[in-house]
Amino acid sequence: MRSSLRCGALTRRGTSCQAPAMAGRTRCRMHGGTASSGAKTGNKNALKHGGTTHEAKELQRYIRALAQRTNEIIDEM
């Protein structure tokens, strides 16, 4: 255990953390060593259902135009 890489993060006591670092990482499990720690990048946590994203609005526009054209064709018949 002593030979494994230590975390080294600064603790509240002002000393460096001596917990073993996560495999392939430089920090321990308490100091951000886990793969997906912290908030998601960008603003992904604000996304609740994706109903008002750029892609969804574009799809709505397309469907609306398609329905409009369908009605025009029906009217011409």
Where do contacts with Zn ion occur on this chain (CB under 5 A)?
Answer: 7, 9, 17, 19, 28, 31
- Residue 18 or 60 having the CB closest to Zn ion: 18
Least distance CB 12 / Zn ion (angstroms): 12
Residues 14-24: b if buried by 16+ CB within 10 A, e if exposed: eeebebbbbee
**Please, are residues 31 and 10 in contact by the beta-carbon 8 Å criterion?**
no
Task: DSSP letter for 5, please.
Answer: P
Alpha-helical (H) ranges within the chain are: 54-76
Least distance CB 2 / Zn ion (angstroms): 16
- Residue 5 or 9 having the CB closest to Zn ion: 9
Least distance CB 30 / Zn ion (angstroms): 5
